[in-house]
Chain A
């Protein structure tokens, strides 16, 4: 029997509709980023908004830099914590293991705003000034469960007898970790890290609550721009972001392919 046979017209129609719905707004943004007018009525081709974006939007690029720094640091820390946790929860048995492996995923199920509000109140309580550092702490917190989930999923596919073999052959804990467990878990670790970077770059709600004066990230900066209505500079920025997304998607696909498929 053929595995892929022609599907019905209805599902084709719904899929086409979905794709048009998903892309139409983005295509419009791209088109209007080249519009000469400040309004959304077409008034000829122009690159003036790109000029403004690249040469007179220092605050925006500063926020972008902040976002990048937080994404890389929080993703690194959460990847280390999440990976160690996944190995511990998967490979060992100990008291409260079951409880911890359930509780660690609760942050994923709680509405974002609750996490943001609770961290704001917490930071106020311990008198920690809101800054890039508090944003880093918050991002690491919401990233950990995602890394944990991805690495655990990877470990589940993994044959644990080879770890036992390593121990039987005289490997110590550190050797077993660095020579056997981590290489085996590596694809999961990399995708956990990438997901964490994405989530961090993307987050608006939690960051909104835990950011202080002068610690703006790119989403916060975009928010402050769109509050004043439509601006063609955001259209140009959108094109840069969309292009960056596509390039990153293609890159990560190829990197993952190159690293894990011989």
Chain B
């Protein structure tokens, strides 16, 4: 019997992630139950102040904003990504198109954000062009509001939606759609009843990959946002570095993580139950929907 080296291989991984991930996260949980120190830090005394402070209209409003911005940008990204990745997966130039989508994504994140400042800023291209054409005299403030945050979030995370959708659609067996069309389904019906249910896995991944970073967004609202588009991430940073209320920063961090998890679980659940109902309706429908992509292989 040869020696089991498994634990030896895994030891550095486990050790590193315990020290630099598990312990720091546990400290946040611990700090959220403490009293705040006078200038940052904490006093080691049990207190629920940090959680009581969460129960206030400002935080609720910001949490709602965060949720709205994340949901809206996720919806826009997935709506754009489904047809775009469908086109890519069906094309003869798949690899070229893939590279086209990835190159802007590899460009530094802050430069991509800055590009929109250069376009939409008060001294930006759009304003200068409109003024020099004499269409208006004063600049319009396009940035520093919720819509600008949604736009730039979509811009920075869009490939996160395209990549998983592309790889799912590429594996999809398109003869199923053709079968549905032969049996008399319209293009629209075939897409909704055959294609979409079969690429559900890709849609789920795309939603998760875009919703999670959008919900925990800090940089985009910090740079492009205004007071109405403040997100939970910004409050955490403010409490940590400006107000220096570390227990509150910790409790908001926990709330952010909990809300993200809740959103993800809720979505997975909705997803599952709608899949079941789709299955039920499929069995009674005149055009049979295949139960899964693996069911029929050409």
Note all chain B residues with C-beta closer than 8 A to A248. 106
> Which of B52-60, B122-130, B275-283, B284-292 is found at the contact surface with chain A?
B122-130
Q: Of A10, A84, A141, which is within 8 A of B83 by CB?
A: A10
Which chain B residues numbered 2 to 30 have a C-beta less than 8 Å away from chain A? 2-10, 12-14, 16-17, 20-21, 23-25, 27-28
**A88 within 8 Å of B (CB atoms):** yes
B257, A114: Cβ atoms closer than 8 Å: yes
With A41-B132, A111-B233, A218-B108 as contacts: A205 and B218 at CB distance below 8 Å: yes
Residue B110 interfacial (CB < 8 Å): yes
Assembled-state Cα–Cα distance A22/B191 (Å): 26
Complex Cα gap A234–B5 (Å): 51
Does B135 sit at the interface, judged by CB under 8 A? Answer: no
Which range contains the number of A residues in contact with the other chain? 35 or more
Q: Does A153 contact B (CB under 8 A)?
A: no
Are A84 and B13 neighbours in the complex by a CB distance under 8 Å?
yes
B252 closest partner in A (C-beta): A117
Q: Which residues of A contact B73 (CB under 8 A)?
A: none
Interface residues on B, range: 35 or more
The reply to whether A88 and B6 contact each other, CB–CB distance below 8 Å, is yes
Residues of chain B within 8 A (CB-CB) of A150 are none
Is A81 a contact of B155 with CB atoms below 8 Å?
Answer: no
A219 part of interface (Cβ distance < 8 Å): yes
Judge whether B102 and A40 touch: CB under 8 Å: no
Interface of A is mostly: helix
A28 CB within 8 Å of chain B: yes
Whether B114 contacts A114 by the Cβ 8 Å rule is: no
> A residues near B, CB below 8 A?
1, 4-5, 7-8, 10-15, 17-19, 21-23, 25-26, 28-29, 32, 39-41, 80-82, 84-85, 87-89, 91-94, 97, 100, 103-104, 106-107, 109-115, 117-122, 124-125, 137-138, 140-141, 144, 148, 167, 173, 198, 201-202, 204-205, 208-209, 218-219, 222-223, 226-227, 229-230, 234-235, 237-238, 241-242, 245-246, 248-249, 253
**7 tightest A-B contacts by CB?**
A111-B216, A92-B6, A88-B9, A85-B13, A25-B115, A118-B24, A14-B83
**Additional 19 contacts, C-beta under 8 A, given A173-B5, A204-B109:** A8-B187, A12-B87, A18-B158, A40-B125, A41-B129, A41-B132, A88-B13, A113-B233, A117-B236, A118-B28, A119-B20, A121-B240, A137-B20, A219-B108, A222-B110, A229-B121, A230-B118, A235-B118, A242-B111
